Structure 1
Amino acid sequence: MSTKTLVCLLGYLLLGRAAGAQSVGNEYALIPYPTSLVPARGSFVVTAATRLAQPSGAKFASEAQQLQSLLAHGLGKPLTTTKLAAANSIALVYDPAITAPEGYRLTITPQRVTLAAKEPAGMFRAVQTIRQLLPPTIEKSGKAPPLRLPAVQIQDQPAYAWRGMHLDVARHFFSVEYLKKYIDLLALYKFNKLHLHLTDDQGWRIEIKKYPELTTLGAWRQLNNQDSSCIRKSKDNPDFALDPKHLRQRNGHTEYGGFYTQQQLRDIVAFAAARHIEVIPEVDMPGHMMAALRAYPTLSCTGSATWGKEFSVPLCPCNESTYEFAENVLSEVAALFPSRYVHIGADEVEKTTWAQASACTELMQREGIKDVNGLQSYFVRRIERFLQSKGKKMIGWDEVLDGGVDAATTVMYWRSWVPDAPARAARNGNQVIMTTNNPLYFDYLPDKNSIDKVYHFAVTPAGLSAKEAKAILGAQANLWTETVPTENRADYMVAPRLTALAEVVWTNKPNYAGYLQRLKQHYARLAQLGVHYRVPDLSGFAEESVFTTSTTLAVQKPLANLSLRYTTDGSAPTPASPVLDKPLPISQPTTVKLAAYTPEGLKGDTYTINYKQQNYAEPVHAQAAAGLTASYFDGYFPKSAAMQQATAKGSAVVNAIAVPKQAETDKFGVQFRGYLDVPETGIYTFYLTCDDGGILRIADRLVVDNGGLHSAIEKSGQVALGKGLQPFALDFVEGGGGYTLLLQYSLNGSPPQPIPAGWLRH
């Protein structure tokens, strides 16, 4: 071996070792990160003289065409094709040795590019890797910089078979064009499933030829409370304005709605299939059927379409006409969607009308059904047998486990407050798709911690046996659209969060620090694609800030190219507002409103920073024991102040800011009382994360107001405290559906950390 060869080999190995740690340059900013990536020296330049070689014939014809279309954006014309993989060529090669589904191998040298796969799906994933390695301007036709591909050796395959995203088109409707944009975004990040939620109480979005009134009546509604909420929010944010394309005037009323024809759905399915994305339809039943019942009310046990105690009145499972309707609908659905799966929901069923119906009493006696949960199981099993007769597998939300379900059912686990559901499903023989509401419900408001939570989501839950773990197919995130009325708002809610999920379900060895660095390179590509992504969070301040004599607002930008605009007169920042390009001195109480703008003009969240002047709170002198007193209350408290009029169920002494086990019910409240034994005088920042709401007071001063009923979001506030015992009060409420409570602090710019148990006194 020559000295030159040895030096090159050592350099190659060192680069490979670095790549294993994901410490590679920006030219390899791939999401999801490949199973194996070994950098090499040099690059391949795509020019008009480059040829596209297909030595495997027509096997990868569709993928070759998509690569041609991509490169034509930068070159202005497609490449000349050939069957010979010679120098200055990009070759698509069949490789039977690649056995992993969707697996591929990519080799880029200065002389040629080779994409190898066994299946077309794998070849398509390789094309998407090429896409990400090219400059972001490749996404649009027109002038592009030289098309350079960095030399590299990649071997890649997904960690999980189910890598999904969901879109609810029932609550608010989205155009065919937007669905294609959404699908293309999923393809870029190597997702392979799109779960399309087509029906719900608020709208029926799929044409069923046997029942035309499902769309003539059920696809339209008079404006509801969700629409009203969006209209109110649109005064401050135009992304909440109802899309006029989906409004009509009828009988003197404004109606919202729309639906997809069967031909439109075939077009969407074909568009997704070309990108190796499977579209799974959901037609929710027996609950969430008010849109259908408005058109055909006799399908309920009451003969009407109304609301029950918690949810809408469902289909009646005790009349044969219900099954005739359901089977006719599902026959058309099964014919439209080639997917082997059909999702029937089967969640949040209001069963009170079943308990009151004589037909249901007779059915329960005849079939030996013990309760209304058993009635739901009876309905689900009958629907499942019908779907099986059509060659389909049924999916249901994890409520299907409650009354018993056949092993053939695929279960979507969403209720994080029922932690044993995946294990129960696995032991029953069911396959499981993880779609836990926290953190995978992307309709939950994002904050600075959202991406971190998604990235660190455990697709395979801890505690499963090896056999049970095999039941986990993968994961998906869901975008429910009650308060997502526009395409821009949908973009904001999913991007960039979906990139974190893309990596978690694909990459066998996730690396969060590496991912964050690579993510910075993707915002330019998202902008080229017209995605109105959520601009990453600004930091370096608390929403409620205090100072004793003076302070400085020094904002930390996550991206160097952001322009910061601010106001001090209470108005919202605009592109014409003053630029904040250096630290801003603060010497009197004031309110600063701040927003970041991207070079493309996309506006980030508006931050409101309230500055108060405070003296250090004097400590109190009292005899105090360890821990805090936690008084807990049963019931629904939309605001924490409502606990003042309630009687506590009990109390406990706790040594951490945590809900006592005996307090945990579906809906409850907790009042934490006592003192913080502050170790030194200073200005302390507290970070309160709540699902649902919390109010923090220290030294009889309001520090953080994170009240109301909402998903887990963090809010921060400061307080000036003297050393010693300081009165502490935290009110927390949970309105149902699982809770989160986390309180952290920092001092003098230190990283947030839990409050030490030794500080807590009562």
Structure 2
Amino acid sequence: MRRVFVLTLSLALGMGLRTAHAQEKRYPIIPYPQQLVPIEGAFTITGATRLVLPANGRLFANEVAQLQALVKQGIGTTLKTATAAAGNAIVLKQDMTLSGEEDYTLQVTPQQLLIGAKSPTGFFRAIVTLRQLMPSAIEGRTTGNLRSVAIPAMRLKDNPVYSWRGMHLDVSRHFFSVSYLKKFIDLLALYKMNKLHLHLTDDQGWRIEIKKYPLLTSVGAWRELNNQDSVCMEKAKENPDMEIDQEHIIQKDGKTLYGGFYTQAQMKDIIAYAAARHVEIIPEIDMPGHMMAAIRAYPFLTCDGKSGWGKDFSTPICPCNESTFRFAEDVYSEIAALFPSKYMHLGADEVEKTSWAASPVCAEVMKANNLKSVEELQSYFVKRMEKFFHAKGKVLIGWDEILEGGISPTAILMYWRAWVPDAPVKAARHGNKVIMTPGNPLYFDAQPDRNSLGNVYHFEPVPKGLTAREARSIMGAQANIWTEYIPSEKRADYMFMPRMTALAEVLWTHKQDYDNYLQRLNEQYARLDQLGVHYRLPDLDGFTEDNVFVDKGMLEVKAPFTGMTIRYTTDGTIPGLKSPVLPAALPVTAPQTFKLAAFSPMGNRGDIYTLRYRQEAYAKAVTEKPADSGFRLDYFKGAFKTTAKIKATPDSTFRTDKVIIPEGLGHGEAFGARLQGYFYAPETGIYSFYLTCDDGGMLYIGDKTVVNNDGWHAPLQKSGQIALEKGWHPLKVDFVEGGGGYTLKLEYSVKGQPLQKL
């Protein structure tokens, strides 16, 4: 009986898993709805389908046009309208019982498709859901050639958990065309994101026309190629996506200049395009710091007429001259008139205050206003600008540095400094609204790896320490894309897609079923291909960056989804569409280097993997079990840009039972650390190690370097292999942190088994 029960249970579980996967294919919606009840059958849209509009159809004219355009992308024609539902019909019904502006319902049977919503925004969210249920073949065209389009039957009720579901794009460091901004907006709308935070100005370029100050764009929008550009050009030798978009390079007065800007007419067009898709654009003119582009054009903005770089950041504008405030108010007056959003972002982060501290004029202003520090002087600037914002009917948003020196209760705090975990808690308890944008995991300019998608999906917007009442101050979250090292539109696509889809589900649905999400995401890739999105393909598995074999190795890589092709080279060149296809199993009998890349059915290339293979014997284990358990952790105060620069003598020593940095160590300052102990290899074999670091780290086993993840960088995983005899082996991890939030994680596997922490 027991064997029969086990067999029956196993079959039931298997059938349940297959049913779940079938449902994910049938309803591959991201973000997933709050409630969805599957029903057998489907509603079929054909040229004979009728569209029944709500009584006050004019209110929903934009959404009706969007729905008609979507239908036309499928079957090649729009639908005739009718006054009542009869036969095969799509019915739009205004439902005032729904509480939220974005709430909507779908009731789909083989006879009728009923959309319910309270507002135009709700109808638009419903249309987006229908779009994701239609074949991907409808995308990237205005007129389709399908005979019909089937929508699976269901009962659905949906609403967002968070009101702020945003993306940020820095167009200052590297500039993006009007057409790309519209493509970016389309992708936000497709996944029910509703805020676009445009970072329009910084040291490297001023990107919006200000009619009263024409030099801001004629001078400030252009620069000679800088050190960030040179890094991109060097990386482009290995990755063509890192090439600078040539359309933003001009020749002027014998110089090569990079840049561009949006005219106010262009920006009005972009704003209207976003509004039609229910995306709100929030402008940021960053001040008082990050203003070198403006200062180049108008040197009077600094305290002493000089500009350059201080200890940490660029020279800021001077908050002690009335001419500065006239300039700032003039600029923001034009911004307020141009952008209909009630929000304006002042920035106010990373301000180099040394020029203020040395200024006699600032000393007088501080004395007259009883300001005790330059931090309070910054607060004085922010609060004065906030009063001006209020006079324009706008709400001020600032990066979390606006807490320093005091914050007005009406300002909104945008939290980014992960190493200051109490900032959002303090702001919420002070009564301020908070938008969460912590660098880890929501800085999408950080190089993605195999952990990035999961880290975003498991992000919790409400910080620890808040009561349920205080948590209501958390408006939501957004991911930020800083573009110092994102020089092309292809690279921008790669950096935020598909990570944005994970964030969209966190903020809309706020339910965590990661495996289910991944299944639905696999169904989205074909749609993204059709839309021309240069997304990051799923990671390839079956290897590390540094691989070893004893007698003979075997390179075996399985494509993560149907239709993906893996190609390779052995001559150091980048794999292309004409490179050979990697066989299911490729023997490795001599030291060799491979380059691999996966390609989607539409030719989108994924990451370029460089795999090095070397031959080695099994490392001998130590003969006796180590006397001490756990790891010795040496802590070194100071800033060490690589592990090789860690000083000789530790400042303190601890013991720990895991390869981790104890919480609170360093307090946001730069430091170095060294963990030493032993690793037990339970069997003789090839061991794969995965070292994730922010900033840098090195893994050594015995006298061999196994993983090199050195240097200051955002969270990034690197991997390597070593051949080990069964038994104990000396292990050392050197780690450096540049100041901020640190990450250190070491995992391993043997013989293809799941990863486990060491």
**Is the TM-score greater than 0.5?**
yes
Q: Which amino acid aligns with 1:388?
A: H
Counterpart Cα distance in 1 of 2:525 and 2:681: 42
Q: 1:241-640 to 2 correspondence within 5 Å?
A: 241-621=243-623, 624-640=627-643
- Given the superposition, is the C-alpha separation of residues 207 and 456 from structure 1 closer, same or farther in structure 2, using an over 3 Å criterion? same
**Alignment partner of 1:675 out of 666, 673, 678:** 678
Secondary structure in 1 aligned to 2:698?
A: strand
What is the CA distance between 1:602 and its match in structure 2?
1.0
Secondary structure in 1 aligned to 2:500?
A: helix
What is the CA distance between 1:19 and its match in structure 2?
13
Secondary structure in 1 aligned to 2:184?
A: helix
Counterpart Cα distance in 2 of 1:662 and 1:602: 43
Q: Which amino acid aligns with 2:50?
A: R
What is the CA distance between 1:474 and its match in structure 2?
0.5
Counterpart Cα distance in 1 of 2:511 and 2:309: 47
Partner of residue 645, structure 2:
642
Count residues in correspondence: 738
- Does residue 49 of structure 2 align to residue 47 of structure 1? no
- Given the superposition, is the C-alpha separation of residues 563 and 207 from structure 1 closer, same or farther in structure 2, using an over 3 Å criterion? same
Q: Contact (CA 8 Å) 1:435, 1:477: kept in 2 or not? A: yes
Partner of residue 705, structure 2:
702
Counterpart Cα distance in 1 of 2:637 and 2:665: 11
Counterpart Cα distance in 2 of 1:255 and 1:578: 40
What is the CA distance between 1:304 and its match in structure 2?
2.1
Partner of residue 692, structure 2:
689
Secondary structure in 1 aligned to 2:58?
A: coil
Q: Deviations over 1:723-753 (max 9, x none)?
A: 3332222111112231110011112222111
Secondary structure in 2 aligned to 1:170?
A: coil
Q: 1:736-747 to 2 correspondence within 5 Å?
A: 736-747=739-750
Secondary structure in 2 aligned to 1:605?
A: strand
- Does residue 92 of structure 2 align to residue 92 of structure 1? yes
Return 742-751 or 155-164, whichever deviates more: 742-751
Counterpart Cα distance in 1 of 2:409 and 2:315: 28
Q: Contact (CA 8 Å) 1:60, 1:92: kept in 2 or not? A: no
Return 573-582 or 343-352, whichever deviates more: 573-582
Q: Deviations over 1:26-69 (max 9, x none)?
A: 12100000011111121111111112211322221110001111
- Given the superposition, is the C-alpha separation of residues 663 and 399 from structure 1 closer, same or farther in structure 2, using an over 3 Å criterion? closer
Q: Which amino acid aligns with 1:680?
A: E
Return 243-252 or 383-392, whichever deviates more: 243-252
Q: Deviations over 1:491-511 (max 9, x none)?
A: 101111110011110004232
What is the CA distance between 1:711 and its match in structure 2?
1.0
Return 608-617 or 128-137, whichever deviates more: 608-617
Q: Which amino acid aligns with 1:723?
A: K
Partner of residue 111, structure 1:
111
- Given the superposition, is the C-alpha separation of residues 330 and 318 from structure 1 closer, same or farther in structure 2, using an over 3 Å criterion? same
The normalised TM-score by structure 2 is 0.95
Counterpart Cα distance in 2 of 1:23 and 1:369: 65
Q: Please give the root-mean-square deviation of Cα atoms over the aligned residues, in Å.
A: 1.7
Q: Which amino acid aligns with 1:143?
A: N
Q: Deviations over 1:172-210 (max 9, x none)?
A: 111111111110110010011110110101000111111
- Given the superposition, is the C-alpha separation of residues 274 and 208 from structure 1 closer, same or farther in structure 2, using an over 3 Å criterion? same
Partner of residue 58, structure 2:
58
Q: Which amino acid aligns with 2:36?
A: L
- Given the superposition, is the C-alpha separation of residues 395 and 654 from structure 1 closer, same or farther in structure 2, using an over 3 Å criterion? same
Counterpart Cα distance in 2 of 1:242 and 1:305: 27
| Structure 1 unaligned blocks of 5 or more | 1-16, 756-762
Q: Which amino acid aligns with 1:559?
A: F
Counterpart Cα distance in 1 of 2:716 and 2:236: 21
Q: Contact (CA 8 Å) 2:24, 2:519: kept in 1 or not? A: no
Return 116-125 or 50-59, whichever deviates more: 50-59
- Given the superposition, is the C-alpha separation of residues 638 and 385 from structure 1 closer, same or farther in structure 2, using an over 3 Å criterion? same
Q: Which amino acid aligns with 2:747?
A: Q
Secondary structure in 2 aligned to 1:58?
A: helix
Counterpart Cα distance in 2 of 1:238 and 1:459: 35
What is the CA distance between 1:652 and its match in structure 2?
2.4
**Alignment partner of 1:194 out of 164, 176, 196:** 196
- Given the superposition, is the C-alpha separation of residues 97 and 22 from structure 1 closer, same or farther in structure 2, using an over 3 Å criterion? farther
What is the CA distance between 1:415 and its match in structure 2?
0.9
Counterpart Cα distance in 2 of 1:25 and 1:655: 41
What is the CA distance between 1:447 and its match in structure 2?
0.7
Partner of residue 723, structure 1:
726
Q: Contact (CA 8 Å) 1:283, 1:344: kept in 2 or not? A: yes
Counterpart Cα distance in 2 of 1:723 and 1:55: 73
What is the CA distance between 1:663 and its match in structure 2?
4.6
What is the CA distance between 1:387 and its match in structure 2?
0.0
